[in-house]
Amino acid sequence: MTEATPLALAKTFLKAKDRLASTERATVMDALLLLLQNPYHPSLHLKKIRDGNGFWSIRASRDLRLIFYPYGKTWIVLYCGHHDEAYDWARRHRVEVHQITGEIQIIVIQTKEQAEGADSVPMEVGAPLARYDEDYLLSLGVPPDYVKPLRYATEDGILELMKGLPETVQERIWSLLEGKPVPPPPRIQVQSAEELLSHPLVRRQFHLLQSLQEMRQALGGPWEAWRFFLHPLQREMVEARFGGPARVTGGAGTGKTVVAIHRTRTLARRYPGAPILLTTFNKGLAQKLKGALRDLHGEELPNVHVEHLHSLALRLYEEAYGPIEIWTEERYRPLLEELGGGLPFSPGFLLSEWEMVDAWGLYTWEAYRGFSREGRGTPLSARERLALFEVFQRVWEAMAAQGATTFNGVCHRVRAALEGGRLPRFRAVVADETQDFGPAELMLLRALAEEGEDDLFLALDPGQRIYKGPTSWRALGLEVQGRSRRLRVNYRTTREIGELAERALPPEVEGEVRGSLALLRGPKPERRGFNREGEALEELVRWVRWVLGQGLDPSQVAVLARVHNLAERVGERLRQEGLPAQRLDGEGEGVWYGTVHGAKGLEFRAVALFGANASLFPLRTLLQKAPDPQEKALLEERERSLLYVALSRPREYLWVGYWGAPSPYLPGEG
């Protein structure tokens, strides 16, 4: 960069920046822009910190300081904060290149007591890392002064020591604790500081700005860390060339959406001029994806289209066939029950069987007759199937007479138009939150892109399946064997919150999600029971005031409820108490409030789940509609996943309140 000081952003800086108030963040950005133009501007007061481990500082305001480390010709921005806090951070950290791996690392300096304790205390019998020799731990990137303390420590002691290590080293130690083999990384061999800061391993902690334009874009736009830092497995999924559909899975906070956004930009650049689709299940999430992609790239990508799938399907339907009216359950259920009233089946079973047939597009007798109903709770004879199909056919005829169909019907007809060449296809499709897509949507996704290299990229979290039941992808022609990866590192949520959320999952799903590696530590989630809703509401208000007192902006706090009217009562009470509050689907300033469904795909620093009651998780009125034990089991699975969604939204603080009996899905203490 010939026009400005070479600059690299450390992940520690972005995390520290996020803890500042919004006005303070703007002040920090102004100071950095001035630094880029003239590092010796008198208002910055650039100086080397005495006893600061080689760090330098500049003044952003009377109280705010930025901490830097000069490496080669590059200034690494390490931290920002209030005066005493910033200088204390500088005294407690150091930056060095590891003698074995060649990685540049930010390390918490060991206290004298910690260092001396490792030499004086006998080897603990329960020290999990004692069986590994010092040279091996060094080869994994462990700093020399951490090797002995780690080998002597109990598991709790290791977890405490790991807080002072880089994420890459933390992950290697975690794998050792889980009994997994960890080969030493190859030594990084580079010729310059810029080459080192551009290395894939180092880029997880440092982002080297390559041009003045990129600096202006970075400083002018949102500063979310995901824009810059990718885990090696994430980067592999983003940049790979796949010979067919590919899938990335992982629990909440592991970065699936991050991968989907970066993958979309990669494909847009790889196939310039070719149409690329980024889609998801929810309209609100589609808008957030669009904004995130624009923030990542700096402007709209001309060959990328972002739209939620049902909106896209409806638009394509009208292009191919003309206007259509959509019937939801509220419209077709009464007719279905009326026409099927003479059959020996409950209304709940009629609806369930109809929805299965509609989802799979079984619109002919031959298709329904030959379809496997394996796993359905109620067996059917051929005669019973025919009787049901005749009822379904009459409902379809009634719809067609009024120019109507279902959303599933739209998806199936659009699929037929795409496969028949009636509509143009996309070069590639990237879909997020695909755990909530049913057969109709998944078959439509398959048809939206021609089969071939990089055609489909699907991201999902099985634990967040709250709308549809599980579906066999292979049965739909979505073969991802050999092109599927699971993300395990949780970048968003503290370990304490992540473990609680995972324990709420249904057993069938827990194994697919459990075991995410959360590198952050934080306060234990609060779990509070009350006699009445009013008491819970009073304590909720106290907790909201408390987290705001920890320095959080109101926009970093959310209160979630299972049902809409309960969420509205929360919002009204917050405003009565003089606290700024806004709905999740609104615009403005304040603590967010809304339903758990509305918070899907969002994250906050602090979240309160208001009403984790036995009557709300699972929702009693929904259970009463379940037609048979199997349908009830699937419903309960989705309800447990909904609780998991709520518990996994916060990054640092979680409060859970209920009155009366708690939800049977809510994990106990411990």
| Token digits of residue 454 | 């990089």
| Token digits of residue 385 | 């199937």
Alpha-helical (H) ranges within 271-308 are 283-297
514 located within any domain: yes
Look up the domain containing 246 and give its range: 230-319+426-487
Strand order in the sheet with 591-595: 526-530, 650-659, 604-610, 557-561, 591-595, 581-583
Residue % of the chain over a pLDDT of 70: 89
- Are 336 and 303 within one domain? no
On the 0-12 / 13-18 / 19+ scale of CB atoms within 10 A, 45 is: exposed
- Distance, in Å, from the CA atom of 531 to the CA atom of 662, rounded to the nearest integer, reads 11
- Are 438 and 368 within one domain? no
Annotated binding-site residues for ATP read 250-257
* Residue finishing a domain among 349, 371, 405: 405
- Are 273 and 130 within one domain? no
184 located within any domain: no
Annotated binding-site residues read 250-257
The per-residue pLDDT for range 121-153, each reduced to its tens digit, is 455 557 899 999 999 999 999 999 999 999 999
Residues belonging to the chain: 670
pLDDT at 225: 63
- Are 85 and 222 within one domain? yes
Residue closest to 89 by CA, chosen among 73, 68, 72: 68
Reported confidence tier of residue 113, pLDDT bands at 50, 70, 90: low
Looking at the DSSP assignment, which residues form a beta bridge with residue 248?
A: 459, 485
The per-residue pLDDT for range 607-650, each reduced to its tens digit, is 999 999 999 999 887 777 766 676 677 788 888 889 989 998 99
- Distance, in Å, from the CA atom of 257 to the CA atom of 33, rounded to the nearest integer, reads 30
- Distance, in Å, from the CA atom of 90 to the CA atom of 87, rounded to the nearest integer, reads 5
Residue closest to 317 by CA, chosen among 432, 408, 450, 395: 408
- Are 83 and 213 within one domain? yes
- Are 147 and 116 within one domain? yes
The per-residue pLDDT for range 9-68, each reduced to its tens digit, is 998 998 888 788 878 888 998 898 888 778 889 999 999 998 778 999 999 999 999 999
The per-residue pLDDT for range 390-425, each reduced to its tens digit, is 999 999 999 999 999 999 999 999 999 999 999 999
- Are 209 and 76 within one domain? yes
- Distance, in Å, from the CA atom of 423 to the CA atom of 417, rounded to the nearest integer, reads 6
- Are 532 and 630 within one domain? yes
531 located within any domain: yes
222 located within any domain: yes
- Are 143 and 261 within one domain? no
- Are 637 and 522 within one domain? yes
Residue closest to 11 by CA, chosen among 173, 142, 168, 147: 168
- Are 81 and 211 within one domain? yes
| Farthest CA pair distance, the chain | 89
Reported confidence tier of residue 204, pLDDT bands at 50, 70, 90: confident
- Are 622 and 501 within one domain? yes
- Distance, in Å, from the CA atom of 242 to the CA atom of 228, rounded to the nearest integer, reads 23
159 located within any domain: yes
Number of domains the chain is built from: 5
413 located within any domain: no
Q: What angle do CA 6, 7, 8 make, to 5 degrees?
A: 135
Dihedral sign, CA of 166, 171, 177, 181? negative
* Residue finishing a domain among 487, 505, 528: 487
415 located within any domain: no
Backbone torsions φ then ψ of 275, nearest 5 degrees: -75, 130
| Token digits of residue 641 | 């996943």
504 located within any domain: yes
Residue closest to 595 by CA, chosen among 555, 642, 538, 628: 642
Cα 453–chain centre separation: 26
pLDDT at 343: 92
What is the chain's mean pLDDT, rounded? 87
- Distance, in Å, from the CA atom of 616 to the CA atom of 622, rounded to the nearest integer, reads 10
- Contacts (Cβ under 8 Å, ≥6 apart) of 519: 167, 170, 171, 489, 490, 491, 495
Strands 304-306 vs 276-279: parallel, antiparallel or unpaired: parallel
CATH number of the domain within which 238 lies: 3.40.50.300
- Contacts (Cβ under 8 Å, ≥6 apart) of 592: 555, 557, 558, 559, 581, 582, 583, 584, 599, 604
* Residue finishing a domain among 116, 151, 177: 177
| Token digits of residue 306 | 């972002």
Contact 520, 493 (CB under 8 A): yes
- Contacts (Cβ under 8 Å, ≥6 apart) of 408: 358, 359, 361, 438, 440
| Token digits of residue 445 | 């996704």
- Distance, in Å, from the CA atom of 312 to the CA atom of 580, rounded to the nearest integer, reads 36
- Of the candidate ranges 159-173, 195-209, 238-252, the one whose mean pLDDT is the lowest: 195-209
CATH number of the domain within which 57 lies: 3.30.2310.20
